[in-house]
Structure 1
Amino acid sequence: MSGSLFVSTEWLAAHLGEPDLVIIDGTFLLPSEGRNAYEEYRASHIPGAVFFDIDEIADHSTNLPHMLPTPEAFAKAVGALGISDTSRIVVYDTSNFQGGARVWWTLRLYGAKDVKLLAGGFARWKAEGRPLEQGQVRRPPQTFTAHFDEAGVASLDDVRAIMRDGSRQIVDARPAARFRGEAEEPRPGVRSGHIPGSFNLPSRDLVKDGEIKPPQEIAAAFGQAGVDISKPVLTTCGSGVTAAILLLGLATLGQDDVRLYDGSWSEWGARSDTPIEKS
């Protein structure tokens, strides 16, 4: 599994059931989609997969959605799922990395040493007629020793400083109409627009059929958005989920000087003391 961000369905099928291999269903669905990710997991998942609930493994002391929990809370939650920081981990989802990339990023942020994504995701696994199972998987509890990478995540104050000093390019993964302020935000009380000076690259432009596009297409997409991929980047989105897809795309290009704004537009757009642009 070393040397790549992804594993193939063939690889995963050949290693199913190995005790140190943890498979994670990281599917995340927006309320507007009218679906329930956990119920879909229970109805059908890759054998042995546990479900990583982004909304549950989160900081519940804030009203912002699925903010990162403390390292201690994260370690307890994933340890209860049967995941250790030394496990070999493969993450998949059913929605073009909408949740999978966030789970991949989060695990790495807290110190998991070997985390990959499944190329083609659940859709490919199913299309190839590979085995499925139902119900909830319970693995033996494990000890996850968290080593939180503070440099990988940005706070509101960090973003204010970056906006002022230009030390990073801010890249927003939301659809263009929301970025430009032409479409209403899905969360009540959140203004429309974007962080001043930021660039827009909708996350869906980097993904096709459950895979990140080839590196040359990723590089071209960032270039067309006005982003210099050789310089430091801050990714943002609606609530810190699809921003991880931009981060994943940059990782495929070898760019690791990237931070993710966890509060994203759910925080910035809901405040009265943060500037916004529309265009």
Structure 2
Amino acid sequence: MLISTTDLNSILDDPNLIIADTRSFKEYSEGHIPGAVHLDLFAFHWIDTTKQGIENFNNQTQNLLSFLGVTREKKVIFYDSISGMLAARGVWMLMYFSHENTSMLDGGITKWKKENLPLETKPNGFKPSDFSGKINPEIISGFEHIRDNLDKIKILDSRSTGEYDGSIMRAAQSGHIPNAINIDWNQNINDDGTFKNDEQLSKMYDFPKDTEIVTYCQGAYRAANSFLALKKLGFQNVKVYLGSWGEWGNKLELPVEK
């Protein structure tokens, strides 16, 4: 799920390659990887994981991936400033639609620039497709699944310590989902913006490999980064809670711990 700068640079001419720059349009227009299109994933927040809410998410995501031009034979690379949460969200979304040929640029454009690899400023247009992937329900969670299995699953809170302990409030309620453990997603990343190696990550995520783990944050972006870290380590049963605290913290009937 990670591609190195060297490997990406060697396939820039591949006609079956889609590169999506998930940073702001301002950053994109100041210089991006040749051929990259701009896709602002942060514009898409879904905090409704009722049955209808998930169906809406499926439809909107399918439209978004069609707009991006994804087809079965395309290799799709997302990048961010670093090995960040927006690129991770893109990779998770494609995996959710069973499109395995996707990865995140390790180290993002920061590493790319540091290595003096080519950049361009001209914008690139989309070549839309009619994308229809197969939904993989095994890597998504709604609030009901968590509520009904609080004692059975490992809940991983990828937010900052302040959000977790309730001193920073970003919803009607502050705190965290009961039993959740807090490992800030920033800890997945080295100082140079690349992903930590498996040995370093294993020390942080020291759980049995068959544990069912659900990751969450505020809007399921940081949680997607933690999802990738766990998948990289070989965890089989990992889900992202799509609604995250934006949903849970605003549903007053759901339990909260501080």
Q: Among all aligned residue pairs of Structure 1 and Structure 2, give the percentage whose two residues are the same amino acid.
A: 28
Corresponding position of 1:148? 135
TM-score, length basis structure 2? 0.90
1:168 aligns with 2:164: no
Corresponding position of 1:23? 19
1:214 pairs, out of 186, 191, 197, with: 197
User: Structure 1 residues 42-51 or 133-142, which shifts more?
Assistant: 133-142
The SS at the match of 1:108 is helix
Corresponding position of 2:77? 90
Question: RMSD in angstroms over aligned alpha carbons?
Answer: 2.3
> 1:95 deviation in Å?
4.1
For structure 2, list consecutive stretches of 5 or more residues without a partner in the other structure. none
Corresponding position of 1:249? 229
> 1:56 deviation in Å?
4.2
Pick closer, same or farther for the CA change 1:57–1:6 going to 2, 3 Å: same
Corresponding position of 1:179? 164
The SS at the match of 2:95 is helix
User: Structure 1 residues 258-267 or 203-212, which shifts more?
Assistant: 203-212
Corresponding position of 1:273? 253
CA contact (8 A) 1:90 1:116 kept: yes
State the distance in 2 between where 1:261 and 1:43 align: 34
1:114 aligns with 2:94: no
> 1:229 deviation in Å?
4.4
The SS at the match of 2:89 is helix
State the distance in 1 between where 2:68 and 2:205 align: 36
> 1:60 deviation in Å?
9.8
Amino acid aligned to 1:87: K
1:197 pairs, out of 161, 174, 179, with: 179
1:170-205 Cα offsets, whole Å, 9 max, x none, are: 0100111211112233xxx43210011111110001
Amino acid aligned to 2:239: R
Amino acid aligned to 2:16: D
CA contact (8 A) 2:210 2:237 kept: no
1:9 aligns with 2:9: no
* Aligned ranges 1:58-97 → 2 under 5 Å: 69-97=56-84
CA contact (8 A) 1:58 1:68 kept: no
Pick closer, same or farther for the CA change 1:190–1:45 going to 2, 3 Å: farther
1:157 pairs, out of 128, 138, 144, with: 144
For structure 1, list consecutive stretches of 5 or more residues without a partner in the other structure. 28-36
> 1:111 deviation in Å?
2.3
CA contact (8 A) 2:22 2:40 kept: yes
CA contact (8 A) 2:34 2:119 kept: yes
State the distance in 2 between where 1:38 and 1:118 align: 18
Q: For this pair of structures, how many residues does the alignment match?
A: 254
CA contact (8 A) 1:85 1:143 kept: no
CA contact (8 A) 2:164 2:182 kept: yes
1:199-221 Cα offsets, whole Å, 9 max, x none, are: 11100011112222111111111
1:210-246 Cα offsets, whole Å, 9 max, x none, are: 22211111111123xxx44441101111111100111
Pick closer, same or farther for the CA change 1:85–1:68 going to 2, 3 Å: farther
Corresponding position of 2:216? 236
State the distance in 2 between where 1:182 and 1:121 align: 31
